[in-house]
């Protein structure tokens, strides 16, 4: 009787152990699956959409920096030469509004500064030498009279070349020296003397 109890007890113990083993075996795959899932989820996090967005944002940021560099390169400090252009166009001591050199036979078409010279271009309607000389003398005096500050003018301008065109062809070139204008402004040269000096350059 005692042996049957022992055997029964042993059988119950063995059954309990087997049940425990069975339970452990069925639980292990689940734990493995869970660990795999966990690993996969970690893997997804490392390569997930958030990282892609970060990568894209990083690239966009780098591109933004490049664009900023390009913008700074495209944006000059603007030494575009506007000051140089102003200095070229400005004729010191010259009152353009007072310069009225147009006559019946000669019309001034352009007055422009080029460094240390001021070029006057005029169109003539005659080739008669006497008439043309008379018109040119009048134009020279008109230009000299339009200089309201001879010192400022001669400080930057050396000469005033004139180009006379007729029907699209250049027919005469002469020049007024700046120092002659100063002498004329100071009364050291008469109108006739100024005209004579200028006509000698034709």
For the residues of 185-200, what is the DSSP string, one character each? HTTSS-HHHHHHHHHT
Work out the pLDDT band at 59, boundaries 50, 70, 90.
low
Helix (H) or strand (E) holding 179: helix 178-185
Which of 45, 74, 103 is where one domain is finished?
74
For helices 129-145 and 191-199, give the axis angle rounded to 10 degrees.
120
Work out the pLDDT band at 50, boundaries 50, 70, 90.
low
Which of 74, 102, 130 is where one domain is finished?
74
Query: What is the rounded average pLDDT for all residues in the chain?
Result: 72
Work out the pLDDT band at 159, boundaries 50, 70, 90.
very high
Q: Give yes or no: residues 99 and 58 share one domain.
A: no
Instruction: Supply the pTM of this predicted model.
Output: 0.56
| Full residue range of the structural domain in which residue 33 is found | 2-74
Position of tokens 């001034």?
Answer: 108
Q: Give yes or no: residues 94 and 66 share one domain.
A: no
Which of 16, 43, 74 is where one domain is finished?
74
The CATH number of the domain holding residue 94 is 3.30.300
Q: What is the pLDDT of residues 162-193, one digit of tens each?
A: 999 999 999 999 999 999 999 998 899 999 99
Give one DSSP letter per residue of 75-113, joined into a string: S-----SHHHHHHHH--TTB-GGG-----SSEEEEEEEE
CA distance 181 to 187: 10
């Amino acid at each position: 009787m005692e042996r049957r109890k022992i055997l029964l007890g042993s059988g119950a113990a063995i059954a309990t152990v087997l049940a425990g083993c069975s339970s452990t075996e069925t639980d292990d795959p689940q734990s493995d699956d869970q660990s795999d899932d966990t690993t996969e989820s970690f893997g997804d996090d490392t390569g997930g959409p958030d990282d892609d967005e970060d990568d894209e944002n990083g690239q966009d940021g780098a591109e933004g920096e490049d664009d900023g560099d390009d913008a700074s390169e495209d944006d000059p400090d603007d030494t575009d030469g506007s000051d140089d252009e102003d200095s070229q166009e400005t004729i010191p001591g010259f009152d353009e509004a007072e310069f009225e050199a147009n006559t019946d036979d000669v019309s001034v078409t352009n007055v422009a500064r080029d460094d240390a010279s001021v070029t006057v271009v005029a169109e003539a309607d005659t080739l008669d030498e006497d008439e043309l000389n008379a018109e040119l003398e009048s134009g020279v005096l008109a230009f000299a009279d339009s200089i309201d500050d001879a010192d400022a003018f001669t400080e930057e301008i050396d000469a005033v070349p004139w180009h006379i065109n007729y029907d699209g062809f250049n027919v005469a070139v002469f020049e007024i020296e700046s120092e002659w204008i100063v002498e004329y402004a100071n009364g050291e040269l008469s109108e006739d003397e100024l005209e004579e000096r200028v006509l000698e350059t034709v």
